[in-house]
Amino acid sequence: MGSFFNRYYDRLMGPVERRICHPVRERLLPQIRGAVLEIGSGTGVNFPYYRQADRVAAIEPEPVMREVSAKRARQSRVPIEVIDAGAERLPFESDTFDAAVGTLVFCTIPDPKTALEEIRRVCKPGGTLVLFEHVKMDQPALGKLQDWLTPAWKRMCGGCHLNRNTLQHVEQAGFRIRRTERMYKNLFLIVEAENP
């Protein structure tokens, strides 16, 4: 089922993409500058939104998604290299990137804490972290529902957890939070943070 999800990701996500994700990507990504790291690029859905980045290194560990990412990278306005790697072990020198971007990815990364520490390592001091994620909701009954659904959801949706507390992980990794924005009753979270 996980591989079905990966293969048909763009089609399955179509309605959510048009209604929720596209406006957020359009708001967050075009102004990102410099050397950019994208975590878990999936099918490369963010690539058309980069307009001012000097270059993007996009890591994606899943082969089917990586292949689609590589095709989209060839059509992008800015140079994008798609790399086979997981966020927990990044094949880059320390202090390499001006910005790191993750969209709908910290739900899926098996070890988000280690991943965020690694991202901080490869980001320059003063570098920016931009995330758009779905997270565990504050409302207790909804949060419990997310806990309950997660084991089955994970199996169907390529390892996606519905109940991650991504903001806490970002803070624990040592990033300084500049701005947060909650959407759809706290289901979605935008974080802009800095590597101090």
Ligand X SMILES: C[S@@+](CC[C@H](N)C(=O)[O-])C[C@H]1O[C@@H](n2cnc3c(N)ncnc32)[C@H](O)[C@@H]1O
Q: For ligand X, which is the closer residue by CB, 61 or 143?
A: 61
Q: For ligand X, which is the closer residue by CB, 81 or 196?
A: 81
User: Left if phi > 0, otherwise alpha if psi is -120 to 50, otherwise beta: which for 192?
Assistant: beta
User: Left if phi > 0, otherwise alpha if psi is -120 to 50, otherwise beta: which for 34?
Assistant: left
Q: How far is the CB of 177 from ligand X (least distance, A)?
A: 21
Alpha helices in the chain (DSSP H): 2-7, 9-16, 22-28, 63-74, 112-122, 140-156, 166-172
Q: For ligand X, which is the closer residue by CB, 84 or 196?
A: 84
Q: For ligand X, which is the closer residue by CB, 139 or 149?
A: 149
Q: For ligand X, which is the closer residue by CB, 82 or 193?
A: 82
Q: How far is the CB of 135 from ligand X (least distance, A)?
A: 13
Per CB under 6 A, residues contacting ligand X are 39-42, 45-46, 59-62, 65, 86-88, 103-105, 108-110, 160
Question: What one-letter code names the amino acid at 38?
Answer: E
Q: How far is the CB of 25 from ligand X (least distance, A)?
A: 8
Q: How far is the CB of 140 from ligand X (least distance, A)?
A: 26
d(C-alpha 128, C-alpha 8), whole Å:
31
Q: For ligand X, which is the closer residue by CB, 45 or 99?
A: 45
Residue with the two structure tokens 């920016």:
128
d(C-alpha 154, C-alpha 128), whole Å:
29
Dihedral (CA of 158, 164, 167, 172) sign: negative
Nearest residue to 110 (alpha-carbon basis) of 17, 41, 43, 40: 40
Q: How far is the CB of 184 from ligand X (least distance, A)?
A: 16
Closest chain position to ligand X (CB): 42
Q: How far is the CB of 90 from ligand X (least distance, A)?
A: 9
